[in-house]
Copies of this chain bind each other. A is one copy, B any other.
Amino acid sequence: MNAIEQLREALGDIVDTDPAALQVARGDRSGHTASGTPLAIVHALTVEHVQQVCRIATETRTPIVVRGAGTGLAGGANAGTGEIVLSTARMTAVHEIRPDDLLAVVEPGILNADLNDMLAPHGLWWAPDPASRSISTVGGNIATGAGGLLCAKYGVVRDAVLGVDLVLADGRLLHLGHRSVKGVTGLDLTSLVIGSEGVLGVIVGATLKLRRLVEGTTCTIAATFPGVRTAAAASAAVTAAGIQPAIMELMDAASLAAVASLLGLPSPSAGTAQLTIQTDGPAAAAEADAVVAVLAAHDGVVQVSHDREEGERLLAIRRSMHPAMAALGTTLIEDVSVPRSAMPAMFDEIARIEREYALTIPTVAHAGDGNLHPNFIFEGPETPPHVWAAADALFRAAIALGGTLTGEHGIGTLKSRWLAEELGADQWEIQRQVARVFDPLGILNPGKVFAAHA
């Protein structure tokens, strides 16, 4: 029997070969599509289903692409010719919520926002907040090390996971990590799995570290600046002044203009950039006052709201960035990250690349943590060569400033050709060998992350 026949015999009607579903599994939110069409999608409902798929895949040497909600931005869960899509999207159970131990034990398919809706009545939340949180799964957030708006104050995914249950390529189940706050028993394989993008194993469960909901008011500050460099310098000055906002989002002029056009708002003056800052917790109001003083000293025109709903309206401009870009054409959303102090220099580099490649690169940034999303816009489905050339220049500039290729989206398909450049050949090789310890046959997400070593 071939792999599909074995899967059907073992798993019955959770093996899906509907052409429309297979078509969807070729892509994600990056716009990139895999070559060819996968063999089948298995909609796993249990850990045992996942183990059976892995055993059959190992026996038949069939590649597996693990997939959650398909909201990735690096092509990491895109499946093509000859591959089995192993979906954990239907494994949505929440097994435990423990306010006393500040942890939850969940299956990977639950959506981030759905989990937080279940935690809120207990006065709890799980801090990772990718912009996709209403449509992305917790398992996908862990597999990609997804970031978001709140990371400078509330940490990254690595800070919010205590343990992971992982099915290996051969079907064995490992329980990694622990339920206690502290634990240094052996190597930290839990952290190794976070951000591993499906090349080490299948995440079938997670023990999440929770926080208590933040009490007190939320203050929102929106400020416009005569240029993006001024806005970047103002945001760096906020951090340098010792203030830690919950959210600090920067939009350059092209981004702001595109959103104004989408929402039918008055056009901002040419060159106008914007910072949107939110403070929370018991000191929110005092911190907001301090933020306002810093921004005003940096030529900001400042507007403050102490009302949560009005604050959400101010943030709505930032949250409309993705649809505004989509309205302009096909978008390649980049994701470089630099030390906070290098933000103004990184904007200088983006301006240089715009000139050199005759492009407009609308850019938003999580300015509190130095994570920039430059957007390349083009016609048609394929990223044109000159856009890749500009992206290449962008990556080199970020690395030269002490930064990294990807702050929160991952390597996936789209950035694997730059991975060795950042890691160095020795580290690249060590990482690949570590992955092979988990997956000796190389059947998990082949062609991703470590694929394109120069």
The size of the chain A interface, using a CB distance under 8 A, is 82
Q: Which of A99, A147, A339 has the most CB of B within 10 A?
A: A339
Contacts of A419 in B (CB 8 A): 185-186
Are A369's CB and B194's CB within 8 A? Answer: no
Chain B residues with CB under 8 Å of A186's CB are 411, 419, 422-423, 427-428, 431, 449
Cα A244 to Cα B209 in complex, Å, equals 14
Q: Are A185 and B411 in contact (CB under 8 A)?
A: yes
A291 at interface by CB-CB < 8 Å: no
Residue of B nearest to A155 (CB): B159
Please determine whether A100 and B144 come into contact, CB atoms closer than 8 angstroms.
Answer: no
Asked whether any CB of chain B lies closer than 8 Å to the CB of A405, the reply is yes
A438 touches B430 (CB 8 A): yes
Bound complex: CA A244 to CA B200 (Å): 35
B185 and A404 contact, CB distance less than 8 A: yes
Q: With A185-B405, A244-B212 as given contacts, are A369 and B180 in contact (CB-CB < 8 Å)? A: yes
Question: In terms of DSSP, what is the predominant structure of the interface of chain A?
Answer: loop
Contacts of A180 in B (CB 8 A): 337-340, 369-371, 402-404, 407
CA–CA, A223 and B176, complex, Å: 37
Q: How far is A433 from B174 in the complex, measured between Cα atoms in Å?
A: 15
**A323 at the binding interface (Cβ < 8 Å):** no
- Whether the pair A424, B178 counts as a contact (CB closer than 8 A) is no
Binding site for B on A (CB under 8 A): 98-103, 123, 144-145, 147, 151-152, 155-156, 158-159, 168, 172, 174-176, 178-189, 191-192, 194-196, 200, 212, 236, 239-240, 242, 244, 282-283, 337-341, 366, 368-371, 402-411, 419, 422-424, 426-428, 430-431, 433-435, 437-438, 449
A-B contact list, 19 entries, CB within 8 Å = A155-B159, A182-B366, A182-B369, A182-B370, A183-B337, A184-B406, A184-B411, A185-B406, A185-B419, A186-B422, A187-B435, A188-B192, A188-B195, A189-B427, A189-B431, A189-B434, A282-B283, A430-B438, A434-B434
